[in-house]
Structure 1
Amino acid sequence: MSFDHLPYRRCAGFMLVNAEGLVFVGQRIDPTAHGFWQMPQGGIDKGEDTRTAALRELEEETGIGAHLVEVIAPASKPLLYDLPPELVGKVWKGKYRGQEQHWFLGRFLGEDADINLEAHDPAEFNEWRWVEPATLPEVIIPFKRAVYEAVLAEFKRFI
């Protein structure tokens, strides 16, 4: 069955780096993604701009408010990924084939103690850590790796 007719879900993501140039990743609670990590990201609400959505998702998933972040740059263009065939029709109530992601890079101005994975109910991550940027694609769920490689390439000069 072809899902080419389905649209992409609009999404915003945030690549958060600390003073040492390490990238924040959280391990998703979702059992289908167990063992994989991702940067904060999520859907864009109706009428919401991409920057506001990215900062909202960052705060919801990590407890890190905008006052603890210096936004450095937006990605130059949205990045697309398709869901694997076994997930199309199951994720997002079958409405989308994948995501159109709008990424932002920011520097974390706070301390690790400011990170609170339970800031939003329900929590989306059960663990978090800082990783070397070069290792980011290795810990990401395989169908999102190309997007993460593109995000790294785009923001590498700022990290």
Structure 2
Amino acid sequence: MSRDRFYPERPVLAASVAVFREGRILLAARGKPPSEDLYSLPGGMVEIGETLGEAALRELREEVGVEAELVGLIAPVEFIERDADGHIKHHVVIAAHAARWVSGEPQTGPEAKDIRWVTERDIADLPMTPGLAAVLEQAFRLEREDAVPCGA
């Protein structure tokens, strides 16, 4: 891994997406560090010239093979991890988005060991990345308030 991701000189910008399908959100167990084996939203680093939304949808497509339409921005999440000496090992700012499923059945791969469509009740029992529970609560609240049918 490059120095950009581990012991970065500045925060790393990433984007993720909470994809809704029939009242459930797609979660993937991370296949790589940091937070390997923990459930998270599909997502990854923003590339130069790419909007946050474009990055979220690209990562969704690359990681799990799903296409979606963005509904909006949910919230930023900061993941900061220090090593045993107190140095910043990771500092990632993730722009979490909400989206509606359009097509594709999710597939596991190197970055997604396991995939689940979860209800709001399911999330309490899953090992998740730091800050994800709060993002999912906001996403489900947005879904209830917006209530736009999938595919609309």
Tell me which interval the TM-score lies in, with the shorter structure as reference length: 0.7 to 0.9
Structure 1 unaligned regions, length at least 5: none
Structure 2 unaligned residues grouped into runs of 5+:
1-6, 144-152
Where 1:116 maps in the other structure, the secondary structure is coil
Partner of 2:103: 110
- Counterparts in 2 of 1:1-159, with a 5 A limit? 6-19=9-22, 21-30=23-32, 33-65=35-67, 69-75=68-74, 77-85=75-83, 97-110=90-103, 114-118=105-109, 123-136=110-123, 138-141=125-128, 144-145=129-130, 147-159=131-143
Aligned counterparts of 1:136 and 1:54: Cα–Cα separation in 2: 21
Q: TM-score, normalised by structure 1?
A: 0.70
Contact 1:137 1:148 survives alignment (8 Å): no
Aligned to 2:3: none
Residue 116 of structure 1: CA displacement? 2.9
Q: Deviations over 1:18-42 (max 9, x none)?
A: 11x1111112222774542211010
Q: Give the 3 Å change call, closer, same or farther, for CA 55–124 of structure 1 in structure 2.
A: same
Is 1:136–1:148's contact at 8 Å kept on the other side of the alignment?
A: no
Partner Cα separation in structure 2 for residue 31 and residue 8 of structure 1: 17
| More helix as a share of residues | 1
TM-score (norm 2): 0.72
Deviation at 1:48, TM superposition (A): 1.2
What is the RMSD computed on CA atoms of the aligned residues? Answer: 2.9
Structure with more of its chain in strand, by fraction = 2
Q: Tell me the amino acid that sits aligned with residue 136 of structure 1.
A: I
